Chains A and B, each alone.
Chain A
Amino acid sequence: MSASITTVADLSDRSIIGDARLSRTSRAAYAIAFISLIAAAVVAWKQNDPHGFAMIWLQNGIFALTLALGAFFFTLVQHITNAGWAVAMRRVAEAQAANLTWIWVIFLAPMFWLLLTNREWNGFGHGLALVWPWADMAHLSAESPAEGAVVSHKTAFLNPTFFMIRACFYFAFWALAARWFLATSRRQDQTGDATLSTKMRYAAAPALILFALTSTFAAVDWIMSLSPAWFSTMFGIYFFAGTCAGGFSVIAIGCLRLQAMGYLRGVITAEHYQDIGKMIWAFGIVFWAYIAFSQYMLIWYGNLPEETVWFLARQVGDWAWVSVALLFGHFIIPFLFFVSRWTKRWRGTLAFGALWMLAFAWIDIYWLVMPVVPPDVATFNTYDALAAAYATTSTGLSNPLNYLMMVGFVGLSVAVATGRLSRGAVLCRRDPRLNESLQFENI
């Protein structure tokens, strides 16, 4: 490891100014993303399954979104707590969060297209009902009268018009806020104006409140309403915890990659890595498990059919394995792996743990979005009878489209973020707390 840098004056331009090294990475990521998306289009054409393709699109779109949202939350928290330690890695988080300025295209373009064409999808109803069953109440009530009766009471909230207005509002807020925080931080790079830090700290408070509300409502709108009769008041916070797992892991991986490329040598040290590891451990692993279990236990204990069906859908057939995999892969194994100080400080183990968490963050979203509550669930007398009838339910994880779309959307995120970094400093170089961050040590 190169010698540690202890003051701002020691920084060299090569170490902190984005250049061709980053733009090469960006171009490579664009190439990989476009090749994947073209391949995905070909595969989707051959599979000819509009609903399946739409769900895979939604799931991977949400995954890419969570990576940006997690980084956005990280930025806001560092500002509101006036944290010194994270200044050395904050630009990476800001650049990643700035993906929120374009990621709405992935969502809003197909949503508006579905809405405007308002086509009758074979077996799924009109327009948005290709993905969200409540969007075509006539169809839903005809298919499943009991579910239709329940959902009809929710139409004041769950209707295509209001749904689209809300979606536009979430994306408008995320895009503008993420853009403002990156732009203000960059303005400080130029001017060195310390009052900008204060400004960002003040702005972080209302932004965090709006972040909590928008991410909660977005989770309810786009994921929870996939099973429109079902509800859980903890759903938004569960989504948020998963967001942290993915988002913080990408920050760690991003910093490790930047250092491997020759940036920020001696700027980000084992001390910073230990702290980002703590954040992954606390939010993405422990808090996630706490919320996931709280949600599960209340529903399991209450044992009301209208609530348990959602978990039922996730424990029949192959889904049981995914649920168990989440318990071990998203909690028990990484909990024990990252509980030690050393695994967070060593680059190799941190990279492994962060990639592991990223993979399980993806599986977590998959587990949220993909399972379908058995439509005839009310006709079974016992759990065993239902489990037997649905014993062969497949998870669809073997479908290559999942991975092509994931590489496509994540690749685009990486490409845009590294492109942004290549056109400026990769460090908040004139933040008044930078010296504190450079000298930061865990006690």
Chain B
Amino acid sequence: MTTMSPNTKTSSDAPIGASLPVYGMMAEFETPAQIMEAAKKVHAAGYRFWDCHVPFPVHGLDKAMGIKRTILPLLVFGAGLTGTTVGFCLQAFTNAASFSVWALVWVSGYPFLISGKPLMSVPAWIPIIFELTILLSALSAVILMLVMNGLPRLSHPLLSNNRFRRATDDRFFIVIESRDPKYLRSKTEAFMKALGAKHVEAVEDR
């Protein structure tokens, strides 16, 4: 096996020097306090497609960014209620259903008398209703969280930027995406420099 020369590129990579579409403008900050101030200004400037990347949770940053609360809890509550309803109906049907559809089809579950309890023995159903409520809440919480975050995602333009690697270590980044209606390369770059960033650069969309 021969070693690959540094110039060898896989076919999917664009050749060096060709201009790639720009994903966005990235500003690098050194402290949480700086990015907090900067985030307030970016929000005030009316940008919509932008995000902060920090190495650890910075309390109050989401407030500074003007992010609205997620509706995930409401969806999870709905999923939980669905689980409750499904759990009840499932057991009511299988244990105690017995009805005809338009006098043609006789629909029946599996009515078994167990230790003399009535067929509609709700206390005995509670564990299953409870488990289904928990199951649907937990699954929907995880899955909806992933969906609403656009995950799973195998690659992201920021991950191929070398400077951005320090977002997991000791630097704080704000990235304004080029799809933002207010994005104008020269203006956004000047704006981000005025925020007091240590470094501003365009991130290629690769």
Contacts and interface: CB of A to CB of B under 8 A. Distances in A.
A303 to B, nearest CB: 6
Given A303-B115, A439-B59, A443-B57, A339 B124 contact: no
Give the residue among B59, B116, B127 with the most A Cβ atoms within 10 A.
Answer: B59
B77 interface: yes
Contacts of A297: 123-124, 126-127
Contacts of B116: 303
A301 B59 contact: no
A300 interface: yes
B109 interface: no
A187 interface: no
A300 B123 contact: yes
B73 interface: yes
Contacts of A439: 59
Interface of B: 57, 59-60, 73, 77, 115-116, 123-124, 126-127
Nearest to B73: A341
Contact of A301 (B60, B73, B77, B115): B115
A441 B60 contact: yes
Nearest to B124: A301
Interface footprint category on A: 10 to 19
Contacts, number: 20
20 contacts: A293-B123, A293-B126, A296-B123, A297-B123, A297-B124, A297-B126, A297-B127, A300-B123, A301-B115, A301-B123, A301-B124, A303-B115, A303-B116, A339-B77, A341-B73, A439-B59, A441-B59, A441-B60, A443-B57, A443-B59
A341 B73 CA distance: 9
A293 B124 CA distance: 10
Contacts of A443: 57, 59
A293 B127 CA distance: 9
Given A293-B123, A300-B123, A441-B59, 17 more contacts: A293-B126, A296-B123, A297-B123, A297-B124, A297-B126, A297-B127, A301-B115, A301-B123, A301-B124, A303-B115, A303-B116, A339-B77, A341-B73, A439-B59, A441-B60, A443-B57, A443-B59
Nearest to A293: B126
Nearest to A297: B123
Nearest to A340: B73
Contacts of B60: 441
A168 B77 CA distance: 47
Nearest to A290: B130
Contacts of A300: 123
A303 B115 CA distance: 9
A441 B58 CA distance: 10
Nearest to A441: B59
A439 B32 CA distance: 15
A380 B59 CA distance: 65
Contacts of A301: 115, 123-124
B54 to A, nearest CB: 13
Contacts of B57: 443
Contacts of A341: 73
A339 B133 CA distance: 14
Nearest to B63: A441
B131 to A, nearest CB: 12
The 10 A-B residue pairs whose C-beta atoms are closest, nearest first, are A441-B59, A297-B123, A300-B123, A303-B115, A293-B126, A301-B124, A443-B57, A297-B126, A441-B60, A339-B77
A341 B57 CA distance: 21
A297 B121 CA distance: 11
B39 to A, nearest CB: 16
Interface string A226-265: 0000000000000000000000000000000000000000
A443 B67 CA distance: 13
Interface in A255-281: none
A341 B123 CA distance: 30
Nearest to A336: B77
A293 B126 CA distance: 9
A296 B123 CA distance: 9
A85 to B, nearest CB: 12
Contacts of A296: 123
A339 B81 CA distance: 13
Contacts of B59: 439, 441, 443
Nearest to A439: B59
A263 B127 CA distance: 45
Contacts of B73: 341
A300 B124 CA distance: 9
A300 to B, nearest CB: 5
A295 to B, nearest CB: 12
Contacts of B124: 297, 301
A310 to B, nearest CB: 16
Interface string A98-133: 000000000000000000000000000000000000
Nearest to A339: B77
Interface in A293-308: 293, 296-297, 300-301, 303
A22 to B, nearest CB: 32
A293 B60 CA distance: 41
A339 B80 CA distance: 12
B165 to A, nearest CB: 25
A301 B117 CA distance: 9
Contacts of B115: 301, 303
A297 B60 CA distance: 46
B28 to A, nearest CB: 24
